[in-house]
């Protein structure tokens, strides 16, 4: 929705919450409108010369944890009350934002019988939530309150329910969902094809190390591993607020590479991580089967292998994180970061010299890019970085271009037959559909 306002975001979120399975009270629309108005305008302020970044959790101080789990994990959130509640205002949000980094905490907010909003405390342990969203951990605990509202940029609010993104308001554009192009449609097919090296390596590994394991049982995991890695790379590039571009191609023509190199450590690390994940799973399965069969003694070798593979897996995860940081920093230099299709970096600072442009491009509002859904657009309306990527992907079919703008928007470009397709509002974080939202009554 274009020309959207915080009240449009409030109506959208209210509709979603009304179709939830929660037993918590749903706030009136006036409360949501006031809340999103305050957060939206706070995002345009600065404090000590820095932009405001803060997360607000709508949570009842009288009953903040109505259904705690039977087994509480150590890193689970908790709520900490202020001695005196604070009236929610733009000024209060701006001041408290310096003490509530959204990567680690959120402000606990609720409303009284008159609909007046107040800040009553803080929520801790949010870093585990962010780590899960960014594919840095494999699991995350349930989330506090009714929902979280986060300022991610100037005039940009993300509303999350559990691990599901309900909507984003980007200045005047309401985005109800992000396109999952990495797992559905033409882009996902390209990425799976690029992961053929990984498939082949894991197939060979299984046949020699774990003959009892079938590749089909690991296929989804293997396909998803590179997609997660690419998503993490894009998320890291976003954090620089510099803008950047990634080109995945087998072509070498019309690319003037300022800093040539060959960096394959990321590819190798992903393969090692997959192997140790399988090793750990097999060792755990042997131990569990033995215990479930009533055996009181397990093989020392099984225990050692389970511990060794888990430790190795954790170490390789850190290695992958370092590789991603290394590659993402290359996009801070003007030019394109170029990968071969087997995901070895060829260098950075690349200038794309293809000049022939298509007369028009086609914007796809769906991940599958069905012909009837495509919307024509003039490529001349885009900036230099986008136009150079459009020209290259048009002239060299099979090339996949990913452009991150300075404001964090991600667009993908790929030629399908005689049409250059562009996808925008691309999903990169690990958002999961919540079981607490009813799907049958709301198809969106």
Whether pLDDT at 442 is above 60: no
Q: What is the DSSP string of 117-137?
A: EEEEEEE--HHHHHHHHTTSS
pLDDT-derived band at 120, boundaries 50, 70, 90: very high
What does the pLDDT read at residue 298?
80
- Average the pLDDT over 138-160 and give the result: 84
Report for 44-48, 255-259, 293-297, 437-441: range of highest mean pLDDT: 255-259
Full-model pTM: 0.83
Per-residue CA distances from 349 to 237, 256, 403, 432 (Å):
14, 8, 14, 35
Distance CA 151, CA 56 (A): 9
Supply 264's token pair: 């394959």
What is the percent of the chain where pLDDT is above 90? 64
What domains are defined for the chain? 6-175 (3.40.1700), 186-266+318-423 (3.40.1700.10)
Range list of H helices, 125-256: 126-133, 186-194, 196-209, 215-240
Tell me the pLDDT tens digit for each residue of 214-255: 999 999 899 888 888 999 999 999 888 888 999 999 988 999
Query: What distance in Å separates the CA atoms of residue 179 and residue 138, rounded to the nearest whole number?
Result: 22
Three-class DSSP category at 259: strand
> If we measure between CA atoms, which residue out of 407, 406, 416, 391 comes closest to residue 332?
406
Mean pLDDT calculated for residue range 352-364: 94
Name which of 330, 360, 311 is nearest 236 in CA terms: 330
CB contact at 8 A, 179 and 425: yes
State how far the Cα of 435 lies from the Cα of 438, in Å rounded to an integer.
Answer: 7
Closest CA to 126 of 65, 92, 199, 77: 77
DSSP 406-417: TTS-EEEEEEET
Residue predicted with more confidence, 126 or 351: 351
- Distance (Å, rounded) from C-alpha 373 to C-alpha 421? 11
Q: What is the pLDDT of residues 128-143, one digit of tens each?
A: 666 666 666 665 567 8
192 pLDDT exceeds 50?
yes
pLDDT recorded at residue 344: 93
| Structure tokens given for 181 | 């192009």
The pLDDT of residue 440 is above 50: no
Q: What are the pLDDT digits (tens) for 19-58? A: 877 777 899 999 999 999 999 999 999 888 888 999 999 9
Strand ranges (E), 353-406: 361-364, 375-377, 400-404
In residues, how long is the chain?
444
């Amino acid at each position: 929705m274009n020309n959207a306002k915080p009240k449009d975001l409030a109506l959208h979120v209210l509709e979603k919450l009304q179709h939830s399975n929660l037993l918590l009270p749903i706030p009136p629309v006036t409360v949501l409108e006031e809340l999103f108005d305050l957060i939206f305008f706070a995002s345009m302020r600065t404090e000590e010369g820095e932009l405001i970044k803060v997360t607000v959790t709508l949570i009842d101080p009288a009953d903040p944890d109505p259904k705690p789990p039977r087994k509480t994990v150590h890193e689970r959130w908790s709520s900490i009350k202020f001695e005196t509640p604070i009236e929610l205002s733009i000024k209060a949000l701006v001041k408290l934002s310096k003490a509530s980094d959204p990567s680690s905490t959120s402000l606990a907010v609720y409303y009284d019988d008159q609909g007046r909003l107040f800040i009553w405390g803080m929520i801790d342990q949010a870093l585990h939530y962010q780590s899960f969203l960014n594919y840095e951990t494999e699991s995350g605990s349930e989330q506090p309150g009714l929902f979280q509202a986060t300022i991610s940029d100037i005039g940009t609010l993300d509303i999350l329910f559990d691990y599901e993104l309900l909507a984003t308001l980007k200045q005047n554009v309401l985005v109800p969902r992000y396109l999952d192009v990495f797992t559905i449609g033409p882009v996902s097919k390209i990425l799976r094809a690029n992961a053929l090296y990984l498939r082949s390596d894991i197939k060979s590994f299984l046949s020699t190390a774990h003959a009892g394991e079938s590749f089909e049982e690991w296929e989804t995991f293997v396909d998803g591993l590179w997609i997660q890695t690419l998503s993490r790379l894009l998320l890291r590039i976003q954090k620089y607020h510099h803008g950047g571009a990634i080109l995945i191609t087998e072509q070498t023509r019309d690319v003037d590479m300022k800093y040539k190199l060959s960096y394959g450590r990321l590819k190798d690390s992903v393969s090692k991580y997959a192997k140790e994940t399988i090793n750990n799973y097999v060792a755990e399965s042997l131990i569990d089967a033995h215990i479930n069969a009533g055996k009181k003694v397990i093989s020392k070798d099984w225990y050692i292998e389970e511990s060794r593979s888990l430790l190795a897996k954790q170490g390789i995860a850190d290695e992958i994180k370092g590789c991603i940081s290394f590659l993402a920093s290359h996009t801070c230099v003007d030019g394109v970061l170029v990968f071969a299709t087997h995901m070895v970096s060829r260098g950075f600072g690349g200038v794309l010299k293809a000049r022939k442009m298509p007369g028009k491009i086609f914007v796809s509002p769906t991940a599958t890019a069905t012909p009837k859904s495509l919307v024509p657009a003039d490529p001349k309306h885009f900036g230099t970085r986008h136009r150079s990527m459009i020209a290259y992907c048009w002239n060299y079919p099979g090339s996949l271009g990913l452009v991150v703008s300075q404001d964090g928007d991600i667009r993908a470009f790929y030629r399908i037959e005689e049409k250059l397709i562009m996808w925008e509002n691309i999903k990169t974080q690990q958002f999961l559909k919540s079981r607490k939202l009813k799907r049958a009554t709301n198809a969106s």
